[in-house]
Amino acid sequence: MTILLVVLASLLGVFQVVQRQTAFVQNRSETLDTMRIAVDRMTKEIRQARIIDPASTATHLEMTTYVLGVQKDIVYTVAGESLSRSVGGGSPKVLQDDLSDANIFMYTSDAGGVIQVVALTLSVHPPRRPETTLVLTSEVRLRNRSDA
């Protein structure tokens, strides 16, 4: 009887460890999915941008770009631990929460000061594992850039 209780307790311990690991992997996967969607969207819109406001910072990006072939003004802003996107002066929609670093954007300009390349670095703490940091990066060269 004692051996049976020891075996049962061991099996229960293994089950708890597997259950915690499964929850961690699922949470990490969901966080990476939302990060990929945000980076894909930003990459596409920056690549199609006509103008990037030279006053844009590491936490704030303003640009005139094309969305479904229509010219739009888009603003990406980091506030606290959230990255949001607004279109045409509309209300901002949160793209990503739990940012570990607010400095997302880095710019490379030509000799005339016109932004040519935007580098993105999205760093996020998964909600259940704040000691873990997931990082996605992208470097985008503007295709539709104008000097206006």
Residue 106 near residue 126 (C-beta atoms within 8 A)? no
Whether 31 shows a pLDDT value over 90: the answer reads: no
Burial class (CB in 10 A: 0-12, 13-18, 19+), 107: middle
Residues 3-26 pLDDT 10s: 877 776 776 776 676 666 666 667
Q: Per the domain annotation, does 147 fall within a domain?
A: no
* Model pLDDT, residue 126: 83
Q: Per the domain annotation, does 146 fall within a domain?
A: no
Region of poorest pLDDT, from 21-25, 40-44, 137-141: 21-25
Q: Per the domain annotation, does 88 fall within a domain?
A: yes
Whether 35 shows a pLDDT value over 70: the answer reads: yes
* Model pLDDT, residue 89: 87
* Model pLDDT, residue 18: 64
Residues 44-76 pLDDT 10s: 999 999 999 999 999 999 999 988 889 999 999
Identify the band that residue 112 occupies on the pLDDT scale cut at 50, 70 and 90. confident
Q: Per the domain annotation, does 77 fall within a domain?
A: yes
Q: How many domains does the chain have?
A: 1
* Model pLDDT, residue 144: 75
Mean pLDDT of the chain, nearest integer:
86
* Model pLDDT, residue 148: 53
Give the range of the structural domain holding residue 97, as residue numbers without chain letter: 2-141
Q: Per the domain annotation, does 148 fall within a domain?
A: no
